[in-house]
A and B are shown apart, each in its own frame.
Chain A
Amino acid sequence: MNDQQDRQKRYQISSRKQDSTLLICLTGEFGLNNLPAFTGEIKNLFRQQKPGALDIDFSGITYFDSAAALAMIQIQKAAAAENIVCSFRNLNNETKGIFSVIYEEALSRAPLKDVIKRENLVMQIGDASIRIFQDAVNFITFFGELLFALAYTLRHPQSLRIKDVLFYMKRAGVDGLPIVGLISMLIGLILAFMSYLQLRLIGANIYVPSLVSFALIKELGPIMTAILVAGRSGSAFAAEIGTMVVNEEVDALSTMGFDPVRFLAVPKVLAAAIVVPVLTLYADFFGNIGGLIVGITGLDLTANTYIIQSLKTITVFDIVTSLIKAVFFAGIIAGVGCQKGFQVRAGAQDVGKYTTSAVVTAIFLIVVADSIFAVMFYYMR
C-alpha cells in the first residue's frame, strides 16, 4: 500500500461539547489525499451539533500539508456562514508556517484574463474567412520570396548549400525508395487485377497491360509518388522549420544576415525537384512490375507480350509530361512544407498544427494542379 493510500486511513477526529462550544481534536495525518473525507466529517459534526462556537485542536497532527490547511480555511468559512465562530488551537510553528503561505487574497482574486469563450457561428465563419484570406496572402507572399530566392541561387550558384541539397535528396528520395516501390507495385497489382475482372467479360484481357501502363505513367505514378513524398517529407520540412522557429534559430539566421527562405527552403525545394521525378519513374517501373506479375500469373500472358503491349501504349510525350508534373508537385510539396513551417509561432501544438496543414494543403494543391495539367496536356497533344 502506498503512502497516499495509507494516509487516507491515518487520521482520527474526536469531538466533545463544552457548553456551547464544540471541540474537535485532530489526530494523525491530514493531507491532499484524505481531504474530502476529513472535510466532510468535520462539516457534518458542526452541522449536526449546531454549536455556538467551534474549536479545532491541532496538537495531535503528525502530517499536515497546504491542501489540508486550505481545507481548514474553507471549514472556517463554512462555519462562519452558519454563524459559528471557528478557531484553531495548539498550532505548532510548522503548521503556522503552512497557513502563512496561503493568501486569502489569492483565493478570492478574479482571474486577470477571462476564459476564451466559444464564439457564435457568425463570428466563427468570419474568423475562418479572415484566416483563409490571410493564409492565401501568406502563401502568395512566400512563393514570391521563394521564387526570388531561387532566382538569386541561379545567379549565385556558389550561395547554394550543396551539402544540404544532398542531405534532403537522401531523406526525401533514397530513404523513400522502399515505400514508394512497395506501394507502386501493389497499386499496379490491384489495377491489373481489377481491370482484368472487367475486361475478361468482353474477352479483352490483352488490353490490361495498356490500361495499367497508361494509368500509371500518366496519372497514378506521379500523383501517388507526390502524395507519399508529401506525407513523408513535406511534413518533415514543416516540422523541422517549425521547431527552428520555436527555438529562435530562424531569428538567429535573420540577425546574422541570412535570408531564412534562401537558407532553409531553397535546398529543400531543389532536392525535392530533383528526387520526385526520379521517384516517379521508379514508381512507374514498379507499378508496371506489379501489373506484369498479374499478367503472367493470372492473364496467361507472356512477359514479352505484356511488355510489348505496355510499350505500345506509352509515348515519350506521356513520360515527359509525367516528369514535368512531378517537378511541379515537388515544388508544391517542398514549398508548402517550408511555408507552413515558417508560420509556426510558439509551442509544440503549433508545430503539430502546421505539419498537418502542410500535408493536407500539399495534397489538395497536387490534385488541383493535376487537374489543370490533365486539361492542358490534352489540348497540347
Chain B
Amino acid sequence: MHLPDNEPIIVVENVTVRFGSNTVLENISFQVHRGEILVVVGESGCGKTTLLKAMIGLQKTTAGRVFFRGMDIMAASEAELNNFRQNIGVLFQSSALFSSMTLRENIALPLAEYTSLDADTIDLIVKMKLGMVNLAGYENHSPVELSGGMKKRAGIARAMALDPLVLFFDELSAGLDPITAAELDNLILKTNEALGTTMVVVSHELQSICKIADRVIMLDKTTKGIIAEGTPGDLKEKSTDPRVHSFFWRQVPDNNKQDRSYVR
C-alpha cells in the first residue's frame, strides 16, 4: 500500500535515443500511473529494452526527459538518484543474480546497503521474500543450482527486497516453458494486487501480455515511436492499424501447410 498520489509515477517526455547515426527511439512520450501494470510490446529490435533502460537511468537519452515522481532522472543529483534506486526494482532478462552469492546474500544485499536493520531481521525479510516468490527454503542455494524459472523468481525477490514503488521487468518470460511463464504471470498479478506495486513489463509474449497488462504501449521498429496505446482488449479488437492487428492476431505468413513430402 502506498501513499495516495494522483500524479503519474513515471512520465516519459519526448525521449529520443540514438546510437551514432542509428535512431532507436524517436520522440517517445507516455505516462505510467500508480499501481498499474504497463506492458511495452513490439517486435524484436524495436527498442523495448532501450526504453526500459532509459526509464531506469541506465541509458542516457539523446533528447527528452524521464520523470520519476516529478524528478528528472537525467538531471538528478547522486542523492536523488540513490533515492530513486531505492524506489525501483529491476528484473533483467538474464535475472542477473550474482553467481558468487547465495540467494540469501543476493536478496540481503540491498537491505544491508540501504537500511540499518540487524542481521536477524534481514534474514527474516529474505525468508519472507523467498516465500512470496514460492522459493521458501532456497536461501542457501547458489543461482547456478536453480532452473531458469526459479532464477527469474529469485530475481523478482531481489528486485522486491526494498518494497519498491515500481518494478521493471525485461522480457519476463523469455526462454521459459508456458507453464513456468504462466506461473510468473500469476506471481506478477498477485504481487501487484497485494502490494500495489506499479509494474513496467517489457514483453512480446502475447498470452502473458493479455493476462497481466492493464495498459499496453506498442513500439514500432520502422517509425521508432509508439504506434498504439490502450488496454490489450482494445488493441486486439478495435485497432485498425495493420501492425497492431498482425501483432495481436499473430498474422505471419503461414508455411505450415506447404508440401513437406521432401522432409526425410
Interface of A toward B, CB cutoff 8 Å: 2-4, 29, 31-33, 35-36, 61-67, 70, 74, 92, 94-95, 97-98, 100-103, 105-107, 109-115, 346-349
Report Cα–Cα, A304/B34, bound state, in Å: 83
**In the complex, which of the residues B99, B116, B195 contacts A36, with contact meaning CB atoms closer than 8 Å?**
B116
Q: Does B174 contact A (CB under 8 A)?
A: no
Contact (A4, B140) CB under 8 Å given A35-B117, A101-B132, A349-B99: no
A346 CB to closest chain B CB (Å) equals 5
Report Cα–Cα, A183/B10, bound state, in Å: 55
Q: Does B18 contact A (CB under 8 A)?
A: no
Report Cα–Cα, A32/B161, bound state, in Å: 10
Contact (A114, B162) CB under 8 Å given A2-B79, A67-B125, A349-B100: no
B204 CB to closest chain A CB (Å) equals 22
A356 CB to closest chain B CB (Å) equals 14
Residues of B within 8 A of A98 (CB): 1, 194-195
Residues of B within 8 A of A31 (CB): 163
> Are B100 and A65 neighbours in the complex by a CB distance under 8 Å?
no
For the complex of A and B, list the 6 residue pairs with the smallest distance between their C-beta atoms, beginning with the closest. A106-B131, A347-B99, A106-B136, A2-B83, A65-B163, A94-B1
Report Cα–Cα, A101/B194, bound state, in Å: 7
Report Cα–Cα, A348/B86, bound state, in Å: 26
Contact (A112, B137) CB under 8 Å given A67-B163, A100-B194: yes
0/1 interface trace, chain B 126-167, chain A, CB 8 Å (1 if under): 011111100011111101100000000000000010110000
Contact sample, A vs B, 25 pairs, CB 8 Å cutoff: A2-B82, A3-B86, A4-B86, A32-B115, A32-B117, A32-B162, A36-B117, A62-B4, A63-B1, A66-B132, A67-B125, A70-B124, A97-B1, A97-B194, A98-B195, A101-B195, A103-B136, A106-B132, A106-B136, A109-B127, A110-B137, A112-B141, A114-B140, A115-B102, A349-B99
> Are B131 and A113 neighbours in the complex by a CB distance under 8 Å?
no
A65 CB to closest chain B CB (Å) equals 4
Contact-residue size bin, chain B (C-beta under 8 Å from the other chain): 35 or more
Residues of A within 8 A of B132 (CB): 66, 101-103, 106
Q: Does B2 contact A (CB under 8 A)?
A: yes
> Are B2 and A63 neighbours in the complex by a CB distance under 8 Å?
yes
Q: Does B208 contact A (CB under 8 A)?
A: no
**In the complex, which of the residues A103, A115, A348 contacts B140, with contact meaning CB atoms closer than 8 Å?**
A115
Q: Which residue of B lies closest to A113 (CB)?
A: B140
> Are A348 and B121 neighbours in the complex by a CB distance under 8 Å?
no
Q: Does B211 contact A (CB under 8 A)?
A: no
Q: Which residue of B lies closest to A61 (CB)?
A: B1
**In the complex, which of the residues B80, B99, B190 contacts A101, with contact meaning CB atoms closer than 8 Å?**
B190
Residues of B within 8 A of A94 (CB): 1, 196
Q: Which residue of A lies closest to B127 (CB)?
A: A107
User: How many contacts between A and B, using CB within 8 angstroms?
Assistant: 116
Report Cα–Cα, A381/B163, bound state, in Å: 76
> Are A113 and B141 neighbours in the complex by a CB distance under 8 Å?
yes
**In the complex, which of the residues B131, B140, B141, B143 contacts A102, with contact meaning CB atoms closer than 8 Å?**
B131
Q: Which residue of A lies closest to B196 (CB)?
A: A94
Residues of A within 8 A of B143 (CB): 347
Residues of B within 8 A of A114 (CB): 140
B95 CB to closest chain A CB (Å) equals 13
Q: Does B3 contact A (CB under 8 A)?
A: yes
Q: Does B87 contact A (CB under 8 A)?
A: yes
> Are A107 and B124 neighbours in the complex by a CB distance under 8 Å?
yes
Max count, chain B CB within 10 A of own CB: residue among A3, A66, A95, A347: A66
A319 CB to closest chain B CB (Å) equals 47
Residues of A within 8 A of B162 (CB): 32
> Are A111 and B87 neighbours in the complex by a CB distance under 8 Å?
no
B81 CB to closest chain A CB (Å) equals 10
Q: Does B249 contact A (CB under 8 A)?
A: no
0/1 interface trace, chain B 58-84, chain A, CB 8 Å (1 if under): 000000000000000000000110110
B188-245 CB contacts (< 8 Å) to partner A: 190-191, 193-196
